[in-house]
């Protein structure tokens, strides 16, 4: 049998000394040791600032007529469930609803092709309010999240789980979704007459 190579006990890698010629002048200075934290020192925290319209986590800018941002898959799922979007929104919230659609969502529906021409026809309905986009790209989820964080007056209508997860992290934004062949809403303040299930 051959010899086994054994590691020397407690051996260290050889290091270049700071006086070596290969090290540049600026690198020769020793790294300063961080001073220990003083327990009596006041600690600063970076706390996210919430808009003043949020009072006890409820949005005070929401109120009839409701402006509802509609996502692409919300239109598709409402077609599959055979629901009229505007009428079902009014049944859910017991108030006038104005569905809003951004340029990104329209572009996304147009890209889907002829299979989704019914959804495109519904999106071009005159009852839908069209919101222009000024940013680059046509990724609708980022556009909707950005719009909802800037303006707290919108309810977001979506069925997409990932988008719902992102919106739940933003305080004061209600989410409308489809379940049991009807529209439901979550995170809506109690005093606005939204039904609780």
Specify the pairing of strand 175-179 against strand 182-186: antiparallel
Does residue 16 belong to any structural domain of this protein? no
Does residue 84 belong to any structural domain of this protein? yes
Does residue 26 belong to any structural domain of this protein? no
Does residue 39 belong to any structural domain of this protein? no
Q: Give the tens place of pLDDT for each residue, 166-195.
A: 999 888 899 999 999 999 998 887 655 445
Does residue 152 belong to any structural domain of this protein? yes
Does residue 106 belong to any structural domain of this protein? yes
Does residue 1 belong to any structural domain of this protein? no
Task: Give the contacts of 163 (CB within 8 A, at least 6 positions apart).
Answer: 71, 141, 144, 145, 156
Range of the domain at 175: 66-188
Secondary structure of residue 30 in the 3-state scheme? coil
Q: Total structural domains in the chain?
A: 1
Secondary structure of residue 77 in the 3-state scheme? helix
- Dist. CA 157–CA 87, nearest whole Å: 14
pLDDT at residue 99 in the model: 96
**Stated pTM of the model:** 0.70
Does residue 163 belong to any structural domain of this protein? yes
CB-side neighbour CA atoms (13 Å) of 164: 14
CATH for 105: 3.40.50.1010
pLDDT at residue 73 in the model: 93
- Dist. CA 196–CA 35, nearest whole Å: 55
- 148 vs 4 pLDDT, higher one: 148
130 forms beta bridges with 101
pLDDT at residue 20 in the model: 79
- 153 vs 31 pLDDT, higher one: 153
Average pLDDT of span 131-159: 90
Residue 84 pLDDT greater than 90, yes or no: yes
Mean pLDDT, the chain, integer: 83
């Amino acid at each position: 049998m051959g010899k086994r190579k054994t590691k020397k006990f407690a051996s260290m890698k050889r290091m270049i000394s700071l006086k070596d010629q290969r090290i540049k002048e600026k690198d020769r200075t020793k790294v300063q040791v961080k001073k220990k934290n003083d327990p009596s020192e006041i600690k600063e925290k970076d706390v996210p600032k919430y808009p003043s319209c949020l009072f006890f986590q409820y949005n005070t800018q929401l109120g009839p007529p409701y402006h509802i941002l509609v996502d692409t898959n919300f239109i598709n799922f409402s077609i599959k469930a055979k629901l009229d979007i505007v009428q079902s929104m009014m049944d859910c919230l017991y108030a006038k609803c104005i569905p809003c659609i951004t340029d990104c969502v329209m572009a996304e529906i147009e890209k889907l092709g002829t299979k989704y021409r019914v959804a495109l026809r519904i999106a071009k309905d005159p009852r839908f309010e069209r919101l222009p986009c000024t940013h680059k790209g046509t990724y609708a989820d980022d556009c909707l999240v950005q719009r909802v964080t800037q303006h707290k007056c919108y309810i977001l209508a979506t069925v997409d789980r990932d988008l719902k997860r992102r919106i739940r992290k933003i305080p004061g934004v209600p989410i409308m979704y489809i379940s049991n062949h009807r529209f439901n809403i979550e995170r809506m303040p109690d005093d606005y007459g939204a039904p609780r299930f």
